[in-house]
Amino acid sequence: MMHFTADQIALRDMVRNMVDREVRPIAQKVDDDDAIPENIFRLFGDLGLVQIGLPEEYGGPGGNLTSVCIVREEIARVSQACALVAARNWFSIIGVLMNFGSEEQRRRFFPEIAAGHTLSAAAITEPEAGSDPASMKTRAVKDGDSYVLNGHKAWVSWGTLSKYVTIFAKTGDVERRGIDNISCFIVPADTPGLEFATPERKLGMRGAPSGQMYLDNVRVPAENLIGEEGKGFLAAMRILDLSRPTVGAMAVGIAQGATDVALDFARERQQFGRAISDFQAVQFMLADMQMHTDAARLVVYDCAARIDAGNLEGIAAKSSMSKAFPTDVAMKVTTDAVQILGSAGCSKDYPVERMFRDAKVNQIWEGTNQIQRVVIAREMLKKR
């Protein structure tokens, strides 16, 4: 259906086979244990999936946003938590350094990322600053040739497993609510004064740890400031514009995975002496599930193709659509998948129960779907 290149089709098929072999057998255990086995990280790093998108000139496997979306969609058909291991450094290191870092910083950090066994996290959210990051309180005060960071971040995903955390903090006039006084720093996670709390016990995306992070006089060399002081928020928004389709791609994966399970179940399950797939009410649900999943896939890959082609006109709105629409579709599709499975859909013996919980989280993180609509409407009203 999609117009992928031969290389992208080969990548998709390689990942699909790998997922059947390595991820499917452990997908439910990841959710039950709230942990991903160590060998998955190693395997994904060896296959170039953790570091996908890092250009070959820096020793990486290369690949564009479309490739990242393909990989994440394929893995999320079976496990969203494992899909998040792929392209783990796409936003927090590769995105920030390719778009806003200096050549010296790229040469400093990329060789280690290219090897595929280093994870990173991004810390924007705070307990009192979610949709409204301008109200963040974490501050970075210049002291000689370093910055001293103090504050409290929330919902930092992968922080406990990461070597680096990309931290957004107020600089300059730190008391002022604003977006032009937020800066971005890459901070080694073992820097004295940086501590992580026990991860949250989450509804979905279990296996991908998220939790609070405390900064108590964390001293960071000034050379770890990314881009200009005060331009960190703009950098974050720009990079999110360039990475939201990857969340949409995972939602498409979840929706397709749930549709496939529901279809197989409907063919097998007998009631009133016939397969439930014989009932038109069930057929129409299945048809809607596939129709909406296909539409969501088009939105994702259209946005990714625009970004890959450097066609960035109105991209904030397109990017918001590529996150909000597929994640809303995945919520509806997984709800219907649970319905088609009936009581079996409420059991952890079938993956749709987990997919339903994962789908919900995708409507919230990386900017809630209400905030995505704010962005889309703003762009529409600007045009008028």
Contact between 364 and ligand FAD per CB under 6 A: yes
Stretch that binds ligand FAD, among 71-79, 140-148, 152-160, 277-285 (CB under 6 A): 152-160
Closest residue to ligand FAD in the complex (CB): 130
DSSP string, 215-243: EEEEEEEGGGEESSTTBHHHHHHHHHHHH
Residue 367 lies near ligand FAD (rule: CB under 6 A)? yes
CA–CA gap between residue 298 and residue 293 (Å, rounded)? 9
Q: How far is the CB of 140 from ligand FAD (least distance, A)?
A: 16
Q: Cα–Cα distance between 91 and 190 in angstroms, integer?
A: 20
Among 19, 40, 119, 123, binds ligand FAD (CB under 6 A): 123
State yes or no: residue 214 binds ligand FAD (CB under 6 A).
Answer: no
Closer by beta carbon to ligand FAD, 72 or else 306: 72
How is residue 267 annotated by DSSP? H
Residue from 8, 66, 67, 125 binding ligand FAD (CB under 6 A)? 125
Contacting range for ligand FAD; rule: CB under 6 A; set: 17-25, 123-131, 327-335, 343-351: 123-131
Active site residue 366: yes
User: Any contact of residue 124 with ligand FAD (CB under 6 A)?
Assistant: yes
* β pairing state of 164-170 and 270-271: unpaired
Q: Spot the catalytic one: 128, 228, 366, 379.
A: 366
CB of residue 72 to ligand FAD, shortest distance in Å: 15
Contact pattern for ligand FAD over residues 168 through 207, marking x by CB under 6 A: ----------------------------------x--x--
Which of residues 4, 214, 279, 365 is near ligand FAD by CB under 6 A?
Answer: 365
Q: Is 247 in the site for ligand FAD (CB under 6 A)?
A: no
Question: Is there binding between residue 48 and ligand FAD (CB under 6 A)?
Answer: no
For CA atoms 198, 177, 139, 171, the dihedral sign is: positive
Helical segments of the chain, H only? 6-18, 27-33, 38-46, 65-76, 80-83, 96-100, 103-114, 232-268, 280-308, 315-341, 352-362, 369-383
- Token pair 């392209």 is at which residue? 87
Nearest-5° Cα angle at 76, 329 to 342: 60
Q: Note whether 135 binds ligand FAD by CB under 6 A.
A: no
- Token pair, residue 269, equals 């399950």
Site size toward ligand FAD, by CB under 6 A: 22
State the DSSP H helix or E strand holding residue 157, giving kind and residue range, or none if neither: strand 146-157
Closest distance between ligand FAD and the C-beta of residue 136, in Å? Answer: 10
Does residue 370 belong to the site contacting ligand FAD (CB under 6 A)?
yes
Identity of the amino acid at 128:
E
Burial 267-299 (b: 16+ CB within 10 A, else e): eebeeeeeebbeeeebeebbeebbebbbebbeb
Q: Which of 60, 61, 116, 130 binds ligand FAD (CB under 6 A)?
A: 130
Q: For residues 45 and 40, what is the distance between their CA atoms, to the nearest angstrom? A: 8
Nearer to ligand FAD, 149 or 276 (CB): 149
State the catalytic residues. Answer: 366
In the complex, which residues of this chain contact ligand FAD (CB under 6 A)?
Answer: 121-125, 130-131, 155-157, 202, 205, 210, 361, 364-368, 370-371, 374
